[in-house]
Amino acid sequence: MRQVTDLKEIQSLGLNILKDVDMFCKEHGITYFLAYGTLLGAIRHGGFIPWDDDIDIWIKREDYNRLVEAFPEWGASHGLYLNSPKTVRKYNRPHSQICLSNTLLLQNQRDDRFEEGYYIDVFPVDGLPSNSFSRWLRIKHLQFLKNICTLSAFSVRADEKKSFKTRILLMVSRLFKNKDTQKTMLRYEKVAGKNSCDSSEYLQIIAPGKNRGRNMVLSAKDFQDAEMKQFEGMTAAIPCGYDDILCKLYGDYMTPPPEDQRKPHHDFTLYYKD
């Protein structure tokens, strides 16, 4: 296997996957939106944030379920495969991955028990109850289920200096190492999908970065329509309320971070399979 370390090459792999996903979605009448840093990159840079190493997209739960059902067969003929709670026995994430078949990706901070290639993340957008207390209960329930699966895969490198918090998390994670994460994630999906996006006043997405696993509440109006935006030479959809979304995610999103923070935020080793 050949190790892939060049960021431009990694970005090119992600862009090729996105182009195939765009083709699939158009063939199946599914609307997707650029998400998180990919959305920010489209607005601020017209493509990748120069130091970003992945692509994220959002899909409303109804269309997301259709993708999970139809993509495995389609992807197999395009050199791609789908990791999701419904397709992988020990999958432990509340979203799906569309992976490139001829690659192997090793996470350096997680003890994953399933194989993954280089991927783009596919995040569902879910409806929420109108009642504020019911909304709060839903979010707390989902965070609890997600935390169980996160702890089941928590890991650090043997040579890494362990803080007090890290040592506590490692001890707690041992309680969940044998947890049936697929069952927990399928439960997560059932709870998350109780309210239709189209009939909901509020929607939720999974928070990024240090808040990942928590759920953010957005107005359904933010996803009411799609706008088209250039991303690395292709045209992709973004939510009409992108300004509101990006402000909630990143604050002053048009101002780049200090130079010492301009680096990839994932910790993985990537290989091309022979």
pLDDT in tens, 5-37: 999 999 999 999 999 999 999 999 999 999 999
The number of helix segments (H) and strand segments (E) in the chain equals 7, 12
- Residues 254, 271: contact at Cβ < 8 Å? no
Tokens of 134: 């019911």
Q: Can you give the residue range of the structural domain that contains 183?
A: 2-272
Distance between CA atoms of residues 128 and 191, nearest Å:
10
Rg (CA), the chain: 18
- Give me the number of domains the chain comprises: 1
CA nearest neighbour of 104 among 90, 87, 91, 116: 116
Q: Which pLDDT does position 93 carry in this prediction? A: 85
Query: Element (H or E) spanning 28, and its range?
Result: helix 7-28
Quick one: angle between helices 7-28 and 61-76, nearest 10?
Answer: 110
Distance between CA atoms of residues 5 and 120, nearest Å:
17
Tell me the mean pLDDT in the region 139-143: 91
Return the residue matching tokens 């041992």: 174
pLDDT at 269 over 80: yes
Q: Count CB-CB contacts under 10 A for residue 135.
A: 19
Torsion angle in degrees (nearest 10) through CA of 108, 113, 115, 121: -70
pLDDT digits (tens, 9 = 90+) for 219-261: 999 999 999 999 999 999 999 999 999 999 999 999 999 998 8
Q: Which residue has the higher pLDDT, 195 or 107?
A: 195
Distance between CA atoms of residues 25 and 128, nearest Å:
25
